[in-house]
Chains A and B, each alone.
Chain A
């Protein structure tokens, strides 16, 4: 345990070289999965990799992706690459690939027939740059969920809403019962993510793609998106009494019935599980806010920096194959609460909400997520805008929408 902490603590600055003359090859893997459920999920990956005769050196970096990514990137650009590293698949590692620092996995992918296995196709697409595959997607995390507390609605004496509009209509009754209608934590990405979910749900899939994929600034400033801003204004009013920062604290408000609901990704489900709550009985989940049942295919992937050491390069190949192995996929995703990236695995033990997600996935109602469509720079500008919008009740909708359109106009 101590060994693991030390590794994490020094990962940023110290060259870690555990490779010895032993037969098994050590491969350091960095990631930011440090909460209870996440750590359990990583342990499954490590177990599967160790079973191949190699050794997984855990390089967990605490403090979520925002803290971890700069450390990982500095290590790769600074000439001290790890064996493999987590990123959200999409554009976070784009420049590292273009600079030739990442390993091309196309051969392994062709051998393992990844193009046939990985579903939906967009996952592998976002790992592909100039026709070559650079990462292994391991799970699908979608943002499109509204988590509702059954207890809160009982207390307020209103029926459980079936979609976002009913939820907004129920807000006054919730407030009267002393319940915060919508919990939105203070971290900037929460406000920004909630808006993106509203855009896909209220505006629809086409509007979402037109704004974020085609980056149509005129459309983003137009009447259709004005409707989405109206919904965001509702959300802002419903969320005004949330005095918490972290997303899991906000989820906890829903778990304890202090808040009516929360717009949050499926990782929130882990919190409900840890608290011993049952889907359907204690809490209700509405994918796509009940309006537009789609799932965004964000998620995590592993990238492999280009290494000189032949043994380690070999171990990288083994790890890449292990990550997509059906058994690993099931074990990992059940613990993580995310959906597997291959369609041919059996997830009988999944709970109600996960099954809803799987059904939507099987129907093919998927959209790419903003991590895949926008650069980190545009994402950050968006976060700044929406965290200000949610915290400042007097910021007008017109001003917010104009600034949003400006961001889209300059987005890349």
Chain B
């Protein structure tokens, strides 16, 4: 194959579409096969076995939708879904808003922009496990924020989200935002830099206030950037797992459980593959329900401008 991969790519007189860029196509065959076998094949296998009563080892002993019945009757799964919704809404709204505002502020040709950008992006260099541990300590009432404020004199100050069942998911969201907004800010900043300087000049000549220019001219022009950002954030929401494990391990009780953790725990800890597969199929389904109509609107239909 290496002999094929010569730099002579300019066979423009070839009539057949199929053979255009043949080198590239041949080279990508292994990857296509891998993707088909691993992603599509693996998904089909998982869905198939979610209808069985497989325990520790996969077995084709079909029980219909029993696993799904059990799943939706399990309080822990329902709590997980609720948590995912809250976490999802918070991280979607806040990372977009905070990310964009930070980017807009950095875009004001301020001094030390590089320094600020580095500071804001830095948390993204940390893994979720490290982020989770750092915030576990910060939010611990005995030696975290609460302790510091109390030592300053406000002795009745109370801030222990990770130990309070009703707000623990917000404590986790704070850590996720701290880690993730830097990246969103950078993407937004790149988008802002892509806006032609003339547009700003024209807006200024017309006397449009800056906030209006951002809201009604710049943001609509940044649509592709927003879509990229949305996909990145959404993927992060559905797969959230390690952050929860590091911060609370799902506690207190089951108050901060998430679907991905349910899947892992039931597949490996409870040795019940069927139940784990059913849960992961539900996760896939929820992603499909969100992605497919959107992808259809975005990529299907007629091409836009």
A residues lining the B interface (CB < 8 Å):
66, 69-70, 73, 77, 92, 94-96, 99, 186-188, 243, 245, 375-377, 379-381, 384, 387-392, 403, 410
Contact of A391 among B76, B253, B268, B269 (CB under 8 A): B253
Tell me whether A388 and B57 are in contact (CB under 8 A).
no
Tell me whether A95 and B269 are in contact (CB under 8 A).
no
Give A403's nearest chain B residue, CB to CB. B75
Contacts of A243 in B (CB 8 A): 140-142, 163
Find residues 44-100 in chain B having any chain A CB closer than 8 Å to their own CB: 55-57, 70, 74-76
Asked if B181 lies at the interface with its beta carbon under 8 angstroms from chain A, I say no
Give A394's nearest chain B residue, CB to CB. B165
Q: Given A186-B252, A243-B142 in contact, is the A380-B269 Cβ separation under 8 Å?
A: yes
Tell me whether A377 and B165 are in contact (CB under 8 A).
no
Interface size class of B (residues with CB under 8 A): 20 to 34
Tell me whether B251 and A186 are in contact (CB under 8 A).
yes
Please report the C-alpha to C-alpha distance between residue A384 and residue B70 in the assembled complex, in whole angstroms.
14
Asked if B281 lies at the interface with its beta carbon under 8 angstroms from chain A, I say no
Give B142's nearest chain A residue, CB to CB. A243
Secondary structure of the B side of the interface? loop
Tell me whether A391 and B271 are in contact (CB under 8 A).
no
Contact of B270 among A380, A390, A403 (CB under 8 A): A380
Q: Which of A376, A384, A390, A392 has the most CB of B within 10 A?
A: A384
Please report the C-alpha to C-alpha distance between residue A403 and residue B73 in the assembled complex, in whole angstroms.
11
Q: Smallest distance from the beta carbon of A229 to chain B beta carbons, Å?
A: 16
Tell me whether B269 and A70 are in contact (CB under 8 A).
yes
Q: Smallest distance from the beta carbon of A134 to chain B beta carbons, Å?
A: 15
Find residues 250-282 in chain B having any chain A CB closer than 8 Å to their own CB: 250-255, 265-266, 268-272, 275
Asked if B213 lies at the interface with its beta carbon under 8 angstroms from chain A, I say no
Tell me whether B254 and A388 are in contact (CB under 8 A).
yes
Q: List 12 A-B pairs, Cβ < 8 Å.
A: A186-B248, A186-B249, A376-B269, A377-B55, A377-B266, A377-B271, A380-B266, A384-B75, A388-B253, A391-B165, A391-B251, A392-B253
Please report the C-alpha to C-alpha distance between residue A70 and residue B264 in the assembled complex, in whole angstroms.
10
Q: Smallest distance from the beta carbon of A402 to chain B beta carbons, Å?
A: 12
Tell me whether B271 and A376 are in contact (CB under 8 A).
yes
Query: What string of 1s and 0s marks CB contacts (under 8 Å) between B114-142 and chain A?
Result: 00000000000000000000000000111
Q: Smallest distance from the beta carbon of B273 to chain A beta carbons, Å?
A: 10
Tell me whether A389 and B253 are in contact (CB under 8 A).
yes
Find residues 228-265 in chain B having any chain A CB closer than 8 Å to their own CB: 248-255, 265
B residues lining the A interface (CB < 8 Å):
55-57, 70, 74-76, 140-142, 163, 165, 248-255, 265-266, 268-272, 275
Contacts of A403 in B (CB 8 A): 75
Please report the C-alpha to C-alpha distance between residue A92 and residue B251 in the assembled complex, in whole angstroms.
25
Contacts of A388 in B (CB 8 A): 75-76, 253-255
Give A389's nearest chain B residue, CB to CB. B253
Q: Given A96-B56, A243-B142, A243-B163 in contact, is the A70-B255 Cβ separation under 8 Å?
A: no
Give B266's nearest chain A residue, CB to CB. A380
Tell me whether B55 and A77 are in contact (CB under 8 A).
no
Tell me whether B56 and A391 are in contact (CB under 8 A).
no
Contacts of B140 in A (CB 8 A): 243
Tell me whether B57 and A77 are in contact (CB under 8 A).
yes
Contacts of A375 in B (CB 8 A): 55, 271
Please report the C-alpha to C-alpha distance between residue A70 and residue B249 in the assembled complex, in whole angstroms.
18
Please report the C-alpha to C-alpha distance between residue A375 and residue B254 in the assembled complex, in whole angstroms.
21
Contacts of A376 in B (CB 8 A): 269-272
Q: Given A95-B56, A245-B249, A377-B55 in contact, is the A392-B165 Cβ separation under 8 Å?
A: yes
Contact of A95 among B57, B75, B252, B270 (CB under 8 A): B57
Tell me whether B271 and A245 are in contact (CB under 8 A).
no
Please give 17 more A-B residue pairs, beta carbons under 8 A apart, in addition to A66-B269, A243-B163, A375-B271: A77-B57, A96-B56, A99-B57, A186-B252, A243-B140, A245-B251, A376-B271, A377-B272, A380-B270, A384-B75, A384-B76, A387-B250, A387-B251, A388-B76, A391-B253, A391-B254, A403-B75
Tell me whether B270 and A379 are in contact (CB under 8 A).
yes
Contact of B255 among A92, A381, A389, A391 (CB under 8 A): A391
Tell me whether A381 and B270 are in contact (CB under 8 A).
yes
Contact of A380 among B57, B142, B249, B265 (CB under 8 A): B265
Tell me whether B254 and A384 are in contact (CB under 8 A).
yes
Contacts of B252 in A (CB 8 A): 186, 391-392
Contacts of B269 in A (CB 8 A): 66, 69-70, 376, 380
Please report the C-alpha to C-alpha distance between residue A43 and residue B74 in the assembled complex, in whole angstroms.
43
Please report the C-alpha to C-alpha distance between residue A377 and residue B55 in the assembled complex, in whole angstroms.
8
Please report the C-alpha to C-alpha distance between residue A376 and residue B268 in the assembled complex, in whole angstroms.
10
Tell me whether B268 and A387 are in contact (CB under 8 A).
no
Give A380's nearest chain B residue, CB to CB. B270
Please report the C-alpha to C-alpha distance between residue A83 and residue B268 in the assembled complex, in whole angstroms.
22
Give A101's nearest chain B residue, CB to CB. B57
Please report the C-alpha to C-alpha distance between residue A66 and residue B266 in the assembled complex, in whole angstroms.
11
Contacts of B74 in A (CB 8 A): 381, 384
Tell me whether A95 and B253 are in contact (CB under 8 A).
no
Tell me whether B55 and A387 are in contact (CB under 8 A).
no
Contacts of B141 in A (CB 8 A): 243
Q: Given A99-B57, A391-B165, A392-B165 in contact, is the A187-B249 Cβ separation under 8 Å?
A: yes
Contacts of B270 in A (CB 8 A): 376-377, 379-381
